[in-house]
């Protein structure tokens, strides 16, 4: 059996879930990520409900317009990712490479803006241990904000690295119309990161 | 542990080359993008228009969930996946809700 045929077989739906193994594996991983981010968001909601005075109103500390723009960037990167997937589904190698590179660049831009945001916040004294918003002796606002956005930023950064790996694979001609599972599972991860940010942006920045 | 021989591979219906890889319908990606963009603008409006606290929270959480569902259904192609996978994906969501609710009742 050749490498190409093995790759093709790996995309065939398996009995049981009706999807190929790599994809099922990614979904299982993403479901564990749902529980991970739920614990973070849940802890934030609980702490904020218990100590409302320890958290600032929307727009007082955090830069909402900048983050709204960054949210738009991440949504755009989801579109480019799905365009890359659509391109390879039609055997469009040039389109795959173009859209994957665009996605990776947009992801890097998102992380860059987040770093700038952190620097600006730190300059204004809003650090994880900031004494500005404390309750029960703990800097709840700073800790929860940096924990949630930091973990999300780490996920985006890992996603960007994986995207560049996918770009390299695309330039090596590893993906074809009939064998592009790597692009699909990369897309699943990337869209999940976008989905989590949609929730985080609302919970952390707007409420 | 049983060795994985070519005979076993052939016996596996998933490895049967005569079984075609199912074609998936192509969603309107740009339309979904437009929807996400408009919903984000609405979110910003709701956050700063000066509604009551409860109304703002309900509206913003509703909009965020709707946007997340759009991403999952169309960009992650969940809408076009087998029902079994969709059920498996939905399974942890009630657990996540219970997790938050259970701890929230402590306060």
Query: Average pLDDT for consecutive 10-residue bins of chain A (207 residues)?
Result: 48 69 91 91 87 84 92 96 94 95 97 95 84 66 93 97 97 91 95 96 93
| Nearest-by-Cβ selection for B71 from A71, A198, A203 | A198
> B34 or A132: whose pLDDT is higher?
B34
A contact test, residue of B36, B60, B65, B89 with most A CBs within 10 A: B36
Q: What is the pLDDT of residue A12?
A: 62
Which of A137, A80, A202 is CA-nearest to residue B29? Answer: A80
Position B88 pLDDT exceeds 70: yes
Would you say domain A3-54+61-206 falls under CATH 1.10.287.130?
A: no
| Nearest-by-Cβ selection for B100 from A42, A79, A206 | A42
Position B34 pLDDT exceeds 60: yes
Under 8 Å CB pairs connecting chains A and B tally to: 134
Position B2 pLDDT exceeds 60: no
Position B44 pLDDT exceeds 80: yes
Confidence band (pLDDT; 50, 70, 90) for B13? very low
Chain A's closest residue to B101, CA to CA, is A42
Q: Are B47 and B62 in contact (CB under 8 A)?
A: no
Confidence band (pLDDT; 50, 70, 90) for B21? low
Q: Is A71 helix (H, G, I), strand (E, B) or coil?
A: helix
Q: Is B28 helix (H, G, I), strand (E, B) or coil?
A: coil
Confidence band (pLDDT; 50, 70, 90) for B107? low
Cα distance from A129 to chain B (closest Cα, Å)?
24
Chain A contact for B31 (CB, 8 A cutoff): no
Q: What is the pLDDT of residue B23?
A: 58
Confidence band (pLDDT; 50, 70, 90) for B22? low
Position B6 pLDDT exceeds 50: no
Query: What is the phi/psi pair of residue A41, to 5°?
Result: -65, -40
Contact yes or no for B95 and A58 at CB 8 A: no
Q: What is the pLDDT of residue B1?
A: 40
- Mean pLDDT over each residue of chain A, to the nearest integer: 88
Query: What is the phi/psi pair of residue A20, to 5°?
Result: -75, 160
Q: What is the pLDDT of residue A175?
A: 94
Q: What is the pLDDT of residue A15?
A: 61
Q: What is the pLDDT of residue A101?
A: 97
For the stretch A105-110, contacts whose Cβ atoms lie closer than 8 Å and that sit 24 or more positions apart, written own/partner, are A106/A73, A106/A74, A106/A76, A106/A77, A106/A80, A107/A74, A107/A77, A107/A156, A107/A159, A107/A160, A107/A163, A107/A190, A108/A160, A109/A73, A110/A70, A110/A73, A110/A74, A110/A77, A110/A156
- CA-to-CA distance for A93 and A171, rounded, in angstroms? 9
């Amino acid at each position: 059996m050749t490498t190409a045929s093995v790759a093709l077989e790996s995309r065939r739906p398996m009995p049981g879930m009706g999807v190929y193994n790599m994809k099922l594996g990614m979904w299982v991983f993403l479901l564990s990520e749902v529980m991970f981010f739920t614990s973070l968001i849940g802890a934030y909601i609980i702490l904020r409900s218990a100590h409302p005075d320890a958290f600032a109103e929307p727009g007082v500390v955090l830069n909402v317009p900048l983050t709204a723009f960054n949210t738009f960037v991440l949504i755009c990167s989801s579109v480019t990712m799905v365009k890359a997937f659509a391109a390879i589904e039609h055997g469009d190698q040039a389109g795959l490479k173009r859209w994957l590179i665009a996605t990776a660049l947009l992801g890097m831009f998102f992380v860059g803006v987040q770093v700038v945001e952190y620097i600006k916040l730190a300059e204004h004294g809003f650090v994880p241990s900031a004494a500005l918003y404390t309750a029960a002796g703990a800097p709840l606002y700073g800790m929860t904000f940096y924990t949630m956005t930091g973990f999300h930023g780490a996920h985006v950064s890992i996603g960007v690295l994986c995207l560049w790996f996918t770009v390299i694979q695309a330039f090596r001609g590893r993906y074809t119309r009939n064998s592009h599972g790597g692009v699909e599972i990369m897309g699943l991860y990337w869209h999940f990161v976008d989905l989590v940010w949609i929730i985080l942006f609302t919970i952390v920045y707007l409420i | 542990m049983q060795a994985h021989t070519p005979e076993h591979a052939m016996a596996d219906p998933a490895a049967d080359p005569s079984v075609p890889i199912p074609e998936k319908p192509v969603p309107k990606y740009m339309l979904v993008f437009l929807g996400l963009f408009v919903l984000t603008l609405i979110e910003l409006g709701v956050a700063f228009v000066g509604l009551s606290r409860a109304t703002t929270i309900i509206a913003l959480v509703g909009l965020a969930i709707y946007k997340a569902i759009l991403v999952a259904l169309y960009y992650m192609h969940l809408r076009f996946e087998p029902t079994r996978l969709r059920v498996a994906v939905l399974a942890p969501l009630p657990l996540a809700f219970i997790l938050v609710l259970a701890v929230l009742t402590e306060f």
